[in-house]
Every structure is written in C-alpha cells, then in structure tokens.
A and B are shown apart, each in its own frame.
Chain A
C-alpha cells in the first residue's frame, strides 16, 4: 500500500561519463542494488535496496559511484522528524518490533569529546617515548588485600589468576554466528600476535580456534550456547554476560538464517532455529545467585582463570558493580549504551542505558569509596573510538578497554548498521560463504594489529606528554583530565575539574 512507501534515505549517484559497465558493483552487492540493462547498455540501480555499506563505491575502478543523502523530505517538523514518521509507517504496516544493528546513533552527549588531556610544562618534564621506556603492560584480576610471608620471611605469592595484556585494549565479545568465521579468525590471530585477548561472545568457540585459547576469553551468556567443560577451559578467562550496552535488559538474538553449518554445531542448536537468549540468566535472580555462578565457573576451571562479569551501564550501575566486586568476580566489564550489536530492538538500543563515561566514573568512585577497588579490575567498552578515548577511560579509572566496533571498522565495516540482514558485503556480519570469503583473515588480522599498535603508539605519546611512563600511573589519575562545556553536575560525576581550573 502506498502509505507504506518510504523514500530511500540514500541515493546512488552514478557518473555516466566514468562508468565503463564493468559490472563490479553488480557482483559486489549482496542486496542486488545494481543491475546491467542489456538493451540500454548501462548500469541501473535500485536505491530502495541500498544500505549504504560503501562496498560498490570502494570497489568501483573508475570512481563512478557515490552514495548521497536524499533531498526528498517530509514537511519539516521539529517534533516529528523524518525517521520517527517512517518508523510509524513501518510499524503500522507490519505490527512488528523495529530491529536495528550497531550502537545507539542518537544525538546524546559524547563525554569523551568534552574531556581534555593534560601535558607537562616546566615543573615536570614530558617524557619522550622514542627515547625512554614507556610501559603499557596491564594486568587484570583481583589483587590480594594482605601481604603474607612464609616462615623464612619470603613473600608468599597469593595473587589470584590474572590476565596479562601488552596494551590495555581487548577485542570485545562478538559471537561466531553474528560475525563470520573469517572475522573470528582475524580477531583471534590479532589478539595472539598483540599479546591481548579477544572474546568469543555467546556463540561458543569454533573447534579450529581452540589453538588461540591463550588469548581468548570465553563467554557464558543466558542462552548457554556452546558452553561445555572443554570450552570453559579453552580460554584464558571466562566472562559471564549479564547485559549488553546496546540492549540492556534483554538477551541476545541471532536470526535462524545465520544458524547454519558450523555455527549451528558450535552453538549446539539445530540449524535454522533462532538463537534467542533469555533476558535474565534463569539461575541468577539476585546477587547471591551470581556469586554461585561465579564460583561454579571457577570450580569448573579449577580456580585457574579469572572470571569476568559483564554488565550494561544502567542507572544504578555503581551499586550493581559494588555487589559484583564482592561476588568473587575478578573483573567487571561495563558496556555503555553506544556499544554495538548484531541485532537489537531499536527502541531499546536508542533509549535504554547510560553513557559509559558517566558509568565508569561513578563505578570507579563507588568501589574506591568502599575500599574495594583493588579487589576487581574494571574494563569498559561501548564506544571507544580512538587512543584518546582509551587514555580518557583509563584516567577516569578503567584498567583496560574493550573495542568491537572499531575492530570491525578495521576489518572493513562501514557502519551501515544492517548486520541483522545477514548480507554483509564486507564478509563480516554474514554466514553466506561467497560473502565470508571476501574477508581475508591474513589481511584482516594484520589490519587489527596495525590499529592496536597505532593506538598504543599514540597512548604512549600522550602518556609521555603528561610525564607518565607507566600505564598504572595513569589509571584513575583524574587530575590529568579537564572538562569543557560541562555543567557542575556532570563534572561532579566525572570527578574532574573544568578546563581553566
């Protein structure tokens, strides 16, 4: 019905003088946007199918293509924006919940961009990372509260199991199924080469990747997909996923179309069945239940691996984190509302949760106020876009960061936010063999290594500028930060002064 017609948001602009009818765009587009018209001897395009993933633009040999935002518009209205209206047409037509992918794209404040970093002048020398050691090695895990000595007076090593990272950056959870085999291989190999960790997500671990176990964090989510004893023992740490920043309060959702072949086997569920994780863990209805799961997982792994509890940043995140810190967990992972997803209900993605910067600041402060900050490490994710964000996160109090969207961009993702369609032209968020092979893990892993190495160089430069030559001296060092354009309350929560103070 014509009410349901929604004019495409983006249009394909083809420069006919440049187009040579090579049909690369046609072959590359899994959405079947481009078509060769034999009679007219020219390429044509159906804008309606385009997701603006930039694949055709990137591969057009003559630069004949570009994607432009349409100038078609509804009658302008400050309250009823075009997107809001279109969504009503869609829901009136389908009766369904709107689905989206990737992180919250709405115009909420981005606190990273309102925080500035300090540098030394005169009273304290900056340190040149090209000439002096500059340390980014990071340990994650519980620290002992009390020094113990043996009968000869030697210090007893009573340290709980730790994760050791060469740089405070890890690849965040993305399940096999939501992303491809080649994407997982790229992440696993990059983590191994970098001396950091990647995270399996909730879809189990493909048997081919057990060999990267020393640099793998295995996840246990409410659906328990792919969880068994060997899986738990395959990784360096176990992560309990209580929540995800993109969709706090609900479980994961992988459409049956992506549950094929190895994905089905790895998840231990039938092919073609939707993998829908329950919203809560049905064995965790309160904090004391979490304690039991933490201890069960430790028992299953013989107390050799740290246990991470991942939660979405929600309103009372500080109190929740305080409870987790006393649950036996070694590491708390906080996921902000900008964090990505392969599929989430749009309303939840866009309206539930809080910015990670505020969540991090209040959790770090709460744990210190209660004197238990050294009992856990704090890893934050969900919108870390650059080395500057990493430095700011650590200075606010994080031990390390999780990145996922940035890692996918390194692999070619152009943030078209259509992962739930399963037709990722870049071979990342798809299980179609012809698309998956477009992502070459040999190239992919090197690009990930490049990205993390580049960020680490930049982190070292910024640390050196501050006169800090070891990352632990940056952790929670909030005097190194100043806010700009923030109100008193925001500054109070972030625990920083305003620029000029």
Chain B
C-alpha cells in the first residue's frame, strides 16, 4: 500500500476539526462528535477521518493502550514478538468494527493494553513514558507493515480512510464514552489511501487534529528530529505532535508555554509587554526559535485531563468555541457546535495565536 512519506513527498491537506470536553469529567458517548464532524462533510473529501477519545478505557486506565494497523499477518507476528519482549501484554483483541460500504481495504486493526516490563524498563534507564514512546517510534520506523497509531493511557485514536462520520460508525464509537473527544475530516490534495495518514496523530496521551498547512514544516522537522523523533509521515500533524511532546514532556513546559513557543506573539506585541512577560516571552521564542509554526493552522490538542485549541498567529483558519454549563465545544464551524448544542452560554472565536485551554475543574482533579 502506498504510504505517505515513503518517497519523501509531502501532501498538503485542508480539513475540518471538532472537539468536545467535559470540565466535570462527565463521560459523553461518541455519538455527538460523529454528528458534529459529519455536518462539515463538505470540508472533507473522503480520504481520511478520525477521532480521539479520552477516558474511554477506565478499566485499564493505568495501562498503555496500543492501537495498531497491520498490513499483513507477518507484520503482526513481528510486532507482537517485539511487544512480548518489551511489554507485559495484559489484554489484546481486534478492535471491533462494523462493515460499512464506503470503507474498504481495511488493514488488520488490533488493540493491546500493555505496561513496560520492569526489567527492560530498569535496564533502559528511562522513565515509563520515554521507554514507551521510543518503543512506539521503533515499531513504526523499523517494522514494515506495522503502525502503532495510538499509545496513550485511558485514551484511544480511531481513524481510517473515509468520511469521518463513516469512520465513526465503522469503529462503533457510539458505544464508547469519554470526557473528551476530538475529530477530524481530511481533504488531502492527493490519494495516498493509507490509514495511518488520517488524523488524529498521537503519541502517548497526546493527540492532535489539525486543519491547515504549515509553511514552517521543514524548519520544524529538521529541528525536532535532533531529539530522537523521526518524522516518517511528513505530515504537519505528526511534527506538531512531536513538538508539543518535546516541549511539554521533555522540557517541562506547560501547555500554555508550549503555545507561546509554537504560536509565539509577534515581536511588536512582546516589546509592549511589561518587563517580566517580555523577558519570558523573548526567552521562550528565542530558545525554541525553530519550533515557531507559521502558515495557517487550527489545532485541537487532546491531553490527559484537558484540551487546547490554538490558531496560527494570523488566524488563517476558522475556529469557534462554544460553552454550555461544564461542557466545551470547539469546531471549525459554529454550525457543527449548534447542531449538538443549540443553546450555548457563550460563543467566541479565539484570536490568532491565543491558546484556549480547558482542564478539569479542581474538584475532579483532586479526585483523580
């Protein structure tokens, strides 16, 4: 199967995104997110759709959930052999799917709940997340025909080549419940037809859906690859995921500080800030200059216990936020929110470069 990135070709894409988040940690079925993204049918072209759900595996919440595409059984055997040697596999199964006329050529789709083998982990001198992240990257780069497309705890990515509403039905997402959902409909400018290329793109608990085409791509890619990442897909979403993982997990920045790096305020804005902010913003922008992202983008970043919406600095892509009680809706178009929640307390369009971040209410956080 032709896989994007293989010949060094990069495929620009337009898209639709949508997200739902419950600040109360209330578990919402996947039905609404399918409806919401389905309304923006015109913004996709049937060449990729996908979802990320958080809080969907409470029974296995301390285990990494690997969702894996296999092109064939040989790849499956090879990958499982690798997993056996590095992880304790607590549970494995096919991911349940439903036959849909418009979704064809599906790979083998498997799910594993795993934790790193204690001896292997100790030998590696890495923390659990880093050990797992490296293992995921290793499988994706080294084992031909195997692709781990979801690797977080108590979360999962579901994606395919097709319209997003069909993809949701294919994976029976109405049967899952999560406190956060993000969704993506893809409009790539050619037809790779590879399932791994659909969004969301995820690493550990971090998932990104993205609409846009970033002009800084190769500057970002060549910088982030210095730190053990390998951009095999040559997609914007992949590189954005690695950037946020690097800034937050490896450098210890908050998600807001990460936003101040990738969508750094213009210098003239920074220059007008008071001294303390000016120093901090200049420091962040200068230290990670090569991680500034330019060109149009709107992204939804899903992470454990929260969601961030971010536009490029010029706001070259549409994105609207709606709030109702403790639930937050974010979508490329307001109609995609109104369809599932007509009576909103508040609706607004985030300004370019200004991150909109929602996390659990304090009560939920303290209970966790």
**Do the two chains belong together in a single complex?**
yes
- Of B92-100, B218-226, B322-330, the one touching chain A: B218-226
Given A124-B215, A368-B222, also A135-B252 (CB < 8 A):
no
Is there contact, CB below 8 Å, between A157 and B283? yes
**B215 lies within 8 A of A473 (CB):** yes
Chain A contacts of B264 at CB under 8 A?
A: 470
Contact (A162, B286) CB under 8 Å given A133-B268, A155-B280, A374-B226 = yes
A interface residues, how many (CB within 8 angstroms): 40
Q: Does A144 contact B (CB under 8 A)?
A: yes
| B295 and A477 contacting across the interface, CB-CB below 8 Å | no
> How far is it, in angstroms, between the C-alpha of A135 and the C-alpha of B271 when the chains are bound?
13
Inter-subunit contact A477/B286 (CB<8 Å): no
> 8 Å CB contacts to A: which residues of B200-221?
212-220
B279 shortest CB reach to chain A, Å: 6
B222 closest partner in A (C-beta): A476
**A371→B227 contact, CB < 8 A:** yes
Question: With a CB–CB cut-off of 8 A, which chain A residues contact B220?
Answer: 473
Docked pose: A397 CA to B289 CA in angstroms: 13
Expressed in whole angstroms, the Cα–Cα distance for A159 and B219 within the complex equals 22
Chain B hits for A476, CB < 8 A:
218-219, 222-223, 290
Contact among A159, A469, A479 with B286 in the assembled complex (CB-CB below 8 Å):
A159
In chain A, residues 117-155, which have Cβ atoms closer than 8 Å to a Cβ of chain B? 120, 123-125, 127, 132-133, 135, 137, 139, 143-144, 146-147, 149, 154-155
Instruction: Give the contacts of A148-181 with B (CB-CB under 8 A).
Output: 149, 154-155, 157, 159, 162
The residue in chain A whose Cβ has the minimal distance to the Cβ of B285 is A472
Nearest CB to that of B266 among chain A residues? A133
CB distance from B159 to the nearest CB of A (A): 21
Residue B344 at the chain A interface, CB threshold 8 Å: no
> Which residue of chain A lies nearest to B251 when distances are taken between CB atoms in the complex?
A147
Which residues of chain B from 263 to 296 have a CB within 8 Å of any chain A CB?
Answer: 264, 266-268, 279-280, 283-284, 286-290, 292-296
Q: Does B89 contact A (CB under 8 A)?
A: no
Most buried by B among A132, A137, A479: A479
Once A123-B14, A125-B316 are accepted as A-B contacts, the answer to whether A472 and B290 lie under 8 Å apart by CB is yes
A474, B256: Cα distance in complex, Å: 24
Contacts of B252 in A (CB 8 A): 147, 149
Q: Interface on A for B, CB 8 Å cutoff?
A: 120, 123-125, 127, 132-133, 135, 137, 139, 143-144, 146-147, 149, 154-155, 157, 159, 162, 368, 371, 373-374, 397, 466-470, 472-480, 497
- 11 A-B residue contacts at CB 8 Å? A123-B12, A123-B14, A123-B189, A144-B287, A155-B283, A159-B286, A368-B222, A468-B216, A469-B294, A470-B294, A473-B293
> Which residues does B use to contact A, with CB under 8 Å?
8, 10, 12-14, 189, 212-220, 222-223, 225-227, 251-253, 257, 264, 266-268, 279-280, 283-284, 286-290, 292-296, 313-314, 316
Q: A135-B267, A147-B252, A477-B215 provided; 11 other pairs, C-beta below 8 A?
A: A143-B286, A146-B251, A155-B280, A155-B284, A368-B226, A374-B226, A473-B215, A473-B294, A475-B289, A476-B219, A477-B217
